[in-house]
Structure 1
Amino acid sequence: MAGRPPTPTHLRLVRGNPSKRPINTHEPTPEKGVPHVPKHFGKMGRYWHERIAAELNQVGVLTRLDAKALELLIEAYVEYRTHCETLETEGYTYRTDQGLIKAHPAAGMKADAWKRIHAMLSAFGMSPSSRSKVNMAGEDKADPLADLLKARDE
């Protein structure tokens, strides 16, 4: 499929529909809630799953259908942290038997993990640029000028 992926209906409702394209009224609405922690996660994976899932659930963007996407995010983050620890102890370069200085293989794997993390963070609205595209509906903030004008008219 060429072009940009379609914007989810709930985001179109929150952002508005400036293009006036018809809104899908039959889009499935998955059950909100925190997915279960995958059984294969280690200690670090379980920690980050619970922490990130709680944050996403608090904002209201996490559903049980997001289990695999959240799993991919956590796996990439755990991999990233593992490569960071490896590079801290072994360094970013190493010397070969011939005396050449080469980049540590973990450096490339860390960069790859970061790309996957960045993509998943954007998918969940966890980066500043992706978050700025969403306007959360909620209580209106008090407007001092409106309060003053209202008091004057009474």
Structure 2
Amino acid sequence: MRGRKPKPTVLKIREGNPGKRSLNKAEPNAPGDVPSCPDFLDEVAQDEWFRISEILTDMGILSTADRAALAAYCTVYSRWVHAEEQVKKFGTIVKSPEKGFPMKSPYLTVADQAMESMRKFLVEFGLTPSSRSRIRVETKKSAEDEFNAFVGAG
């Protein structure tokens, strides 16, 4: 199937369903628990896992169903960090191994590809300014507000 990916119903609701299209009433609900950090992630990826999972939990977005996507994001984040360290060490232009001609650093290519992968994951999780601006989150009401709404008081 071609075309745009369907947007999850929870995001359509948070955005106010601007297209006024019917919502998927049979969409599965993912369990809301925080997924466990995979053992295979390196130290940089694990640090990012705990940093970003806290943010996603506070946003009310993270689910145990997101474990693989979050692990993939953390993996490319770590790859980006390591590649950027090498770019800082060797520069963006290096000498080619054969004839010593200047060429783009392979680490810069790795960093650029990892950054593009990270951007895609960040958009999926609503973690870029533009993707976040399309999400509306219900504010939590206090018990007093709920009581007033129940009894019909202003």
Give me the TM-score of the superposition, normalised by structure 2: 0.85
- Is the partner of 2:139 in helix, strand or coil? coil
- Is the partner of 2:70 in helix, strand or coil? helix
**Matches of 2:125 and 2:42 in 1, distance apart?**
23
C-alpha displacement of 1:19: 3.1
Taking only aligned residues, the RMSD between alpha carbons, in angstroms, comes to 1.4
Q: Give the aligned partner of residue 90 of structure 2.
A: 90
Hey, which bits of structure 1, 4+ residues long, moved more than 4 A? none
Note the alpha carbon deviations across 1:60-92, whole angstroms, 9 max, x for none: 000000001101110010000000001111111
- Is the partner of 1:48 in helix, strand or coil? helix
**Matches of 2:92 and 2:18 in 1, distance apart?**
48
Note the alpha carbon deviations across 1:74-133, whole angstroms, 9 max, x for none: 001000000000111111111234231111111111110010000000000000000000
Q: Give the aligned partner of residue 64 of structure 1.
A: 64
Q: Identity of counterpart residues, as a percentage?
A: 29
C-alpha displacement of 1:17: 2.6
Q: Give the aligned partner of residue 106 of structure 2.
A: 105
Q: Give the aligned partner of residue 152 of structure 1.
A: none
**Matches of 1:128 and 1:17 in 2, distance apart?**
19
- Is the partner of 1:23 in helix, strand or coil? coil
C-alpha displacement of 1:18: 3.7
**Matches of 1:121 and 1:90 in 2, distance apart?**
28
1:45 aligns with 2:45: yes
Q: Give the aligned partner of residue 121 of structure 1.
A: 122
User: May I ask how many residue pairs the two structures share in their alignment?
Assistant: 140
